[in-house]
Amino acid sequence: MTQTATTMQAGQTRPARTAPRRSWLSDIPDLLTRIVAGLIAAAAVSYVVGFTLWTVVISFTDSTLLPEYSFVGFKHYFTLLRSRVWQVAYFNLTIYGLGFILGATGLGLLLAILIDQKIRAENLLRTIYLYPMALSFVVTGTVWAWLLNPTIGVEHFVRSLGWAQFNFGWLVDRDMAIYCVVIAAIWQASGFAMALFLAGLRSLDADLYKAAAIDGASPARMYLRIMVPAIWPIVVSVLVILLQTAIKTYDLVRALTAGGPGIATTLPTNVVYDYMFQRGLMGAGSAAAVMLLLSLLIVLLPYALFQRLRRGKGGGHG
Amino acid sequence: MVEARSLSARGGRILLYAILIAFAAFYLTPLIVVILNSFRSFQEITQTSVLGFPKEFRLDNWVQAWGSYCIAGICSGISPYMWNSLLIAVPATLISTLLGAMNGYLLSLWRFRGAGLIFGIITFGVFLPAQMKLVPWAITLRDLGLSNTLAGLVLIHVVQGMSFTTLFCRNYYVNVPQDLIKAAKVDGAGFLQIFWRIILPLSPPILIVTVIWQFTGIWNEFLYGITFSEGSARPVTAALMALSANIAQAREYGIESASVLIAALPTLLVYLFGGKYFVRGLTAGAVK
């Protein structure tokens, strides 16, 4: 028992009794509890499988406000693929995804490396860098919408300081608005990348640092050549998690730009919602949702395979 | 962990701290802006910008935000929506955590054929986009008569949350020695007794992580909230959106700032006081 407690790192673990007392617990038939537990697991499974299949089925129908099961094949898929809003949404997602993932990963890595330099006030800084993760995207989007709004935010502020020509109107600029979403998303998620990278760096063997230092490599080179490759499984995890976050991003856009100006920051998730609940096109919306899922699977399946292979080899680090 | 020598140059240290502090400012600016604005008057903000120091610290933004400001035609401030979110998040967190612990226990310690597959499918639910579930939920809630009710959102978050909680708990229970279970079975303990007397007492570390993570996630959730509630049944995230989408009148940035802070406060407090567990939750999925 004590052994278990230490392996589970449970400081506050009370010793459990292996020989159960007679109590109300033993009055419940064992078979019944097993059946209930099985049903709970079955419910969780059928939720995932059932709801997915349900949406897939509806995506092949002409359902509008109510589900109706008259099949139209791939009609909605073809219509969507040809529609401008869907193409623009995927184009936006590409720009946003690249900017957000590279930005958050790069910034997270930089901060993790800087924090790894035996600095003072490490806990305070980590707390500051990570706190946006505790916020809702609605809060993040709302506040950044003010800061980036040219008439009330940073542009107006800098101009009032005397730099009258200062321009920062990305939020209302069709070509640049998507980068506002990128900035807010990086602000929110880079601390997460930092936390994971730091955990990775801290798990590295101290000898690796010593060997690298003896080698006489400059700190920057040392990190890029030795430490980062040593934590590459974490780097992959962070990239994948951020990528799936990017694909699923919805609230942030809605709070920050509402998809605009025009459809300049509309993402596929916004299109899905628009079809399903604004235009009442359940079938078309479901088809869009299924395509969203397929995009996600393109990312997740190779990752799952990679994890499995790595674990099969006895898992390296992490 | 770097040898002190390599970065000991004084200039290097100063640069290091300058960068660290600059980024701290980047992360803190939005929070500070909102805090300061919550004390500034309407005229003060609209005549200048959202960046500015209050001339005097006024509390009326807070009073109005909490109790009387009109959100989508309902003039009761943000407080009723805070209660809604609390009434959704607390039961949904507790129930989904308990069910996740049961699932985790079943799938890790009662290894049976297909347990791995079942776990894989449930875990997949973590990644499944919410958009794939909106239409089925809309139909299900309507058939159950739970559209536009708090109970409907609790149900969604319990079922939805089970994927996360099962993932967390199962990965934790996998490290419990199988012998412990075998010994208890020899002693005649049943399924529920082993869970109650052996597994649950071992679980506080993972249950704290799960509860913190679930509460934060459910409190901050927006899409289900906005889709399946309207009017006074909205959770606070949906109410915030309605508040800032209010185009009929001039933007009351001061009141909005106070509302944003009130809405963000519960999860910020959870983060400040449970930060260690919060980070553990973040890393649990990825580093494992």
Q: Does the structural domain A80-312 have CATH classification 1.10.3720.10? A: yes
A151 three-class SS: coil
Supply A83's token pair: 């529609």
pTM comes to 0.89
CA count, 13 A, side-chain hemisphere, A118:
9
Q: Please, are residues A67 and A77 in contact by the beta-carbon 8 Å criterion? A: no
Q: In terms of CA atoms, which chain A residue is nearest residue B196?
A: A25
Q: Do B180 and A206 touch (CB under 8 A)?
A: no
**How many A×B Cβ pairs under 8 Å?**
319
Q: What span, in angstroms and rounded, lies between the C-alpha atoms of A80 and A60?
A: 13
pLDDT value of position A2: 35
- Residue found by looking up tokens 């933007």 in the block: B251
| pLDDT tens-digit series, residues B82-104 | 999 999 999 999 999 999 999 99
Whether the predicted pLDDT of A213 surpasses 80 = no
Residue B5's pLDDT is what? 53
> Which residue from A67, A135, A195 is facing B279, i.e. has the nearest CB?
A195
pLDDT computed for residue A153 by the predictor: 87
Most confident of A63-72, A215-224, B6-15: A63-72
Average pLDDT on A209-219 reads 74
Does the distance separating the beta carbons of B282 and A133 come in below 8 Å?
Answer: yes
A10 and B253 within 8 Å at the Cβ level: the answer is: no
Report how far apart, in Å, the C-alpha atoms of A255 and of each of A176, A181, A266, A311, B139 are: 17, 10, 12, 40, 27
Nearest-Cα distance to chain B for A175, in Å, is 23
pLDDT per position as a tens digit, B142-183 = 999 998 999 999 999 999 999 999 999 998 998 888 888 888
**Mean pLDDT (whole number) for B118-133:** 91
How distant is the alpha carbon of residue B13 from its chain centre? 37
- Alpha carbon of B15: minimum distance to chain A alpha carbons (Å): 10
Position B24 scores a pLDDT of: 96
| Domain B79-236+264-287 CATH superfamily | MetI-like (1.10.3720.10)
Residues 6 or more apart from B246 whose CB is under 8 A from it? Answer: B70, B71, B72
- Mutant choice from A9, A26, A127, A128 vs B, greatest count of B C-beta within 10 A: A128
Beta bridge partners of B71: B74
- Provide the pLDDT confidence category of residue A1 given band limits of 50, 70 and 90: very low
| Interface check B278 vs A, CB under 8 A | yes
Q: Which two tokens stand for residue A277?
A: 């609940």
Closest-CA residue in chain B for A315? B288
Contact call for B201 and A13, based on CB within 8 A: yes
User: Do residue A251 and residue B127 have CB atoms under 8 angstroms apart?
Assistant: no
Through-space distance between the first and last CA atoms of chain B, rounded to whole angstroms: 23
Cβ–Cβ under 8 Å, residues B61 and B257? yes
Residue A304 pLDDT:
84
Rounded Cα distance, A265 and A268, in Å? 10
What are the tens digits of pLDDT across the range B221-262?
999 999 999 888 999 999 999 887 765 667 888 899 999 999
**Tens of pLDDT, residues B66-79:** 988 888 888 888 99
Contact B268 A289 (CB under 8 A): no
List the one residue out of B274, B153, B257 whose CA is nearest residue A139. Answer: B257
- What angle is formed at CA A64 by the lines to CA A59 and CA A66, rounded to 5 degrees? 100
H/E/C letters for each residue in B237-278? HHHHHHHHCCCCCCCCHHHHHHHHHHHHHHHHHHHHHHHHHH
Q: Is A303 exposed, middle or buried (0-12, 13-18, 19+ CB in 10 A)?
A: middle
In this predicted model, what pLDDT tens digit does every residue of A77-99 receive, in sequence order? Answer: 999 999 999 999 999 999 999 99
Whether residues A248 and B129 touch (CB distance < 8 A) is answered with: yes
Rounded Cα distance, A200 and A178, in Å: 32
* Dist. CA B9–CA A43, nearest whole Å: 61
A265 Cα to chain B: minimum distance (Å): 17
Calpha distance B98→B169 (Å, rounded): 10
Q: Do B286 and A160 touch (CB under 8 A)?
A: no
**Chain B residue numbers touching A152 (CB-CB < 8 A):** 45-46, 49-50, 251, 253
Interfacial B residues in 196-255 facing A (CB < 8 Å): 196-198, 201-202, 204-205, 216, 219-223, 227, 237, 240-241, 244-245, 251, 253
pLDDT at A233: 87
Q: Do A272 and A201 contact (CB within 8 A), yes or no?
A: no
Closest CA to A167 of A157, A155, A152: A155
ipTM of the complex: 0.89
Find chain A residues with C-beta within 8 A of B278's C-beta: 130, 133-134
**A293 in Cβ contact with A247 (< 8 Å):** no
Which residues numbered 106-135 in B keep a CB inside 8 Å of some CB on A? Answer: 106-107, 118, 121-122, 124-125, 127-135
Nearest CB to A250 within list B49, B223, B286: B223
Distance of CA B88 to the CA centre of its chain: 12
Average pLDDT in the B29-38 region? 93
Listed by start position, the domains of chain A span 80-312
> Looking at the predicted structure, is the pLDDT value of residue A261 above 80?
yes
**Domain coordinates in residue numbering, chain B:** 79-236+264-287
Q: Roughly what angle, to the nearest 10 degrees, separates helices B253-287 and B60-67?
A: 70
Alpha helices (H) along B130-203: 131-144, 150-173, 178-186, 191-194, 200-202
Whether the CA torsion B132, B134, B138, B143 is positive or negative: it is positive
For residue B287, pLDDT beyond 50? no
Chain A residues with beta carbon closer than 8 angstroms to that of B25 = none
A71 pLDDT more than 70: yes
